[in-house]
Structures are given as C-alpha cells and as structure tokens.
Amino acid sequence: MSLGAERHSRGRILATLIAQLLLITPLALADNKPDLKPGYNFYSPREDAELGQEYSAQVDRQLPLLDDAGALNYLNNLGKKLVAFAPENQPDYVWKFRIVNSGQINAFALPGGYIYVNRGVFDAAENEAQLAGVIAHESGHVVMRHGTHIASQALVAEGGLALVGSILGQRGNIASQLAQLGLGLGVDSLLLKNSRAAETQADEVGAYILYRAGYDPHAMAQFFQIVARKYPQRTLQFFSDHPNPENRIQDVDKEIAQFGAQRAGNMDDSAFEGIKQSLATLSPPPERKGTPKIDAGNHPPPLPSESVTHYQCTMFALDYPDNWQVQHAEDTLEIFPPGGMVTGAEGETSQAYGASVSLYEPQQGKNWGLIDATQELLDSMRQSNPQLQVLQQTGMTLRGSPAVSTLLQNDSPVQGQRETDHLVTVRRRDAVLAFVFVAPAGSFQAYAPTFDKILQSIDLAR
C-alpha cells in the first residue's frame, strides 16, 4: 500500500523536471502557469469531494448560514467563474459557495470545493476584485488539496506507512478513516489548520486565478493587509486559521511578475455594490457571544459585563468590564474576569482570560525602533513560553501613536488548550508599553468585542 507514496514521488520527480524545463525557457510563454503542485496525498480527488460533502453537512449545522437568494446567486456565479481558471481543477469537485451570517472577516474552504465566506468579508471588501481575491485564495486550498494533505501527513505521523496501508486498505468511508486518526470534522478541525507554506501556495493560486479571470492579481494580498490593519479584532479568527505568510505582498508581486503581460482589468463593480447594499439592509449578524467553549471540569468565566469601570495611572487610562478585577503582579497590571486566573500544578497562578499591561525596557540603547523592540519583547516572552508562535503582525495607531499589533498563539494555562493573544505595543518615552489580550483559542472570538472596547478606551498620558 505504499504504492501511493511511490507513485507520488515519481510525480514529484516529473514535476521537478518540468519546473527545470520551465526555468530555462521562461521568455517565450505569454501566459506562464506557475509551477503549482499539491503536496503528497494518499487520497483521490473523489475522496476530497466525499469528505467535503460529509464535512459541510456538519459545518452547516454548526454555523449560522445566510439564506439570501440574491447574494448566494451572485457569490456562486462569481465563484464558478473564478474556479474555471484554477490550475489542477478536478471534475470531482463540487464548488458550492455559502455565506456565514457573521460579521467576523473570515472565509474557509473544505476539501472538494465547499467554500464558506463570512458576511463580514462582503462588508469589508472595497470592490469585487477583493472579494474575488478571497474566493480565489480559498479555491487555492481546494485545488492544492490542503485538507487531505494534512490528513495524509497525520496518517504518516501517526503510524508510518504500515498504518497507511492498513487504514487505506479498509476502503471505508474517508471520514471514518480520519476519525480513527483522531481527526474530527467541524469548524475547529485540524484539517483546516493550514501551514504557512500552504497559505503561500493558496496565495499563488489565488493571484493566478485573479490574473486569468481579468482581475487585478494584487487585490487579494492587498485585502488581507488592509483588513488586518483596519479591523484587527474582527480578523483574528481568520489569521489564526490562516497563518499569515511573511512578506506576503512581496512574494505575490514576484509571482505576478512571471505571469506575463498585464490583462485588461475587470472594473465593473455594479453587481458587487448592489449585493453589498442589499446585505447592509438585512438585520445585523447575530453576535456570537455564546458560552466560551472550555473543557469539562473547568469553570468558564461569566460573560463580561456591559458597564465599565475606569482605571487610571500615570502612563495610561482605560475602561474595563465592571465585573472584572484589577491586580498588580510584579511589574504587570492584570485585569481579569472571575475565574480568569488559573492555578497550576505548582501553585503558581497564570492569566487565562482578560487583559494585562506591562512596561518593557529594550536592551538596545536609546535609538530603537518599535518593531525591533517588539521583537525583543517577543524573544524574552519566548524564554518562559517556548510554545509561543507569532501568527501575524501589522502596524496600527493607538490614540494617534504608531503601534504594532501582533497576534500570537501559545499554550493556555487551561489544561489541554491553546490560547490566542493579541499584543499591542506602543512607545512611551524610553520604554514599550505592552497591552496583551488573552483567552483560550476557542473562546477568543467571544471575547473579541470586549477586548475591542478596552482597546478603544485606552488613553495614553502625554
């Protein structure tokens, strides 16, 4: 049963040869198709579609879908027009596009062509090319088969090729095979956690689709950058599902330069504007405050109160929910809900929910820049948090001062959970003032509106 892998490696050699051939004859080709090949995969495209069907049935029950015929029609027409230009498209893929009734700016793709675009994307996109960019990027995950590639990696990691043989040999339903590997379906499934390499590949496919369909191929990478800057809290989920490749814009630009002559741009935004306006007249998406998801045995904190208490010190002031409390721990101010501090095995307490503020003095003399100083702070945080991972970093302004917004993931003090951290750093005299907003990864979205409110209330002393 290791035949699959062998056949694949032969495919790899062939792909490498073709790539080399392309490298020595780059000039003559007008419409240069980038060398995009899916990673190793033990499944067939038909199995991608089969998995996607079962998976989407589950997701449809988990998420609030928007049932608006006009918008769905528009999205499906646009989506089908775009995927007609996708490389490696397979006849087995179904290409169904759905709208999630959520204001969060997010989109995701399931294997086999089931693509979900949040209503928040329509809201934030400035033109059809940007929306097309999101769809094209997600289509890239489908045609590069990233979901079943992750499943294939899990198969190998779990038991090596012998297990691959025995599991695939059962010829059962692919979803039940994955369940044996502990890979569940659902909105938090590991199958949706793409690597940076997969994101870069989806960017490449996306830019290529846009280019061939007559849109500005830069629109996708630009949209990701614009929304990260404009709506830091509304995009956190997106960037935790989609680790942001470093140098995304430059990489995409490099790719685009190889496609060939610029095509005539698709500039008619009238249909897009019409849909955007009609969505704006519908009742707003339900706020997903819900009960934070926590493992049984822990007590999730009560919901943050809507009314606030004011906190002020010499360096800054802010408002926080009035059912939270404030505590000074060494040089850090911690603001947290009841139950937001977790006691570890050795009696130490760590913050699992809430906000904290601390002052960091960079070691690199007086002429430091905020980005370098933030990097230094992250390095020092990593010494006590080896699992700390940067997902995304962008510039922003905090009360008129330049600031750096960094989205992080780390192990949570809540057992068995990962946490999401949003770090905002700003320079104050010779030090960095660092605001951190934290919650277990599964609950971060529920806390985002509260964190947003605190962030907006911050006042910096002059």
109 sits near Zn ion (criterion: CB under 5 A): no
Q: DSSP secondary-structure letter at 30?
A: S
Crossing angle for the helix pair 270-281 and 69-83, nearest 10 degrees?
Answer: 140
**Which residue carries 């775009």 as its tokens?**
82
Size of the site for Zn ion (CB under 5 A): 3
Shortest Cβ distance from residue 94 to Zn ion (Å)?
19
Distance in Å, CB of 146 to Zn ion, minimum = 8
Structure tokens at 101: 């009734």
Name which of 164 and 390 has its Cβ closer to Zn ion.
Answer: 390
Q: Rounded to whole angstroms, what are the CA distances from 366 to 390, 403, 432?
A: 26, 18, 12
Give yes or no for residue 59 binding Zn ion (CB under 5 A): no
Least CB distance to Zn ion at residue 140 (A): 7
By CB under 5 A, is residue 202 in contact with Zn ion?
Answer: yes
Binding track, positions 329-368, relative to Zn ion; x by CB under 5 A: ----------------------------------------
With CB under 5 A as the contact rule, the residue among 98, 242, 248, 427 that binds Zn ion is 242
Instruction: Let me know the angle formed at the C-alpha of 311 by 308 and 312, rounded to the nearest 5 degrees.
Output: 150
In angstroms, give the least distance from the CB of 345 to Zn ion: 37
Query: Which is nearer to Zn ion, 96 or 242 (by Cβ)?
Result: 242
Q: Is 116 helix (H, G, I), strand (E, B) or coil?
A: strand
In the complex with Zn ion, the residue whose CB is nearer, 200 or 445, is: 200
Q: Does 252 bind Zn ion (CB under 5 A)?
A: no
**Which CB, 199 or 334, lies closer to Zn ion?**
199
In angstroms, give the least distance from the CB of 107 to Zn ion.
Answer: 8
Distance in Å, CB of 192 to Zn ion, minimum: 9
Smallest gap from Cβ 202 to Zn ion, in A, equals 5
Give the residue with the Cβ less far from Zn ion, 115 or 155. Answer: 115
Measured from the CB atom, the residue of 75 and 221 that comes closer to Zn ion is: 221
Cβ of residue 134: shortest distance to Zn ion, in angstroms?
A: 9
Element (H, E) at 327: strand 325-329
Per-residue b/e over 238-251, b at no fewer than 16 CB within 10 Å?
bbbbbbbbeebeeb
Q: How far is the CB of 109 from Zn ion (least distance, A)?
A: 8
Q: Rounded to the nearest whole angstrom, what is the least distance from the CB of residue 240 to Zn ion in the complex?
A: 11
Name the one range near Zn ion by CB under 5 A: 75-83, 237-245, 345-353, 397-405: 237-245
Extended beta strands in 338-400, E state: 341-343, 349-351, 354-360, 389-398
Residue placing its CB nearer to Zn ion in the complex, 59 or 202:
202
- Report the alpha-carbon distance of residue 303 to residue 321 in Å, rounded: 10
- Coil, helix or strand at residue 114: strand
Would you say 119 and 100 are in contact if contact means Cβ atoms under 8 Å apart? yes
Q: DSSP labels for 247-266?
A: THHHHHHHHHHTT-SPPPP-
Task: Label the pairing between strands 96-100 and 114-118.
Answer: parallel
List the helix and strand counts (H, then E) for the chain.
14, 15
Percent of residues in the chain assigned helix, strand, coil, to nearest 5: 45, 20, 35
Helix 196-213 × helix 146-169 angle, to 10°: 120
Residue with Cβ nearer Zn ion (205 or 275): 205
> Closest residue to Zn ion, Cβ-based?
242
**Under the criterion CB under 5 A, does residue 146 sit at the interface with Zn ion?**
no
Asked if 145 is part of the footprint of Zn ion (rule: CB under 5 A), the reply reads no
435 phi and psi angles, rounded to 5 deg = -100, 130
Q: In the complex with Zn ion, which residue's Cβ is closer, 242 or 276?
A: 242
Q: How far is the CB of 458 from Zn ion (least distance, A)?
A: 31
Q: Is 96 in the site for Zn ion (CB under 5 A)?
A: no
Residue 279 touches Zn ion, criterion: CB under 5 A: no
Task: Select the span of 228-236, 241-249, 348-356, 370-378 touching Zn ion (CB under 5 A).
Answer: 241-249
Interface positions, 26-45, toward Zn ion (CB under 5 A): none
Q: Is 427 in the site for Zn ion (CB under 5 A)?
A: no
Nearer Cβ to Zn ion, position 124 or 202? 202
Q: Pick the stretch among 201-209, 327-335, 354-362, 435-443 that binds Zn ion (CB under 5 A).
A: 201-209
Rounded distance, CA 33 to CA 25, Å? 13
| Pairwise CA distance, residues 240 & 44, whole Å | 28
Angle, vertex CA 113, rays to CA 281 and CA 268, nearest 5: 45
**8 A C-beta contact, residue 67 and residue 279:** no
Binding site for Zn ion (CB under 5 A): 199, 202, 242
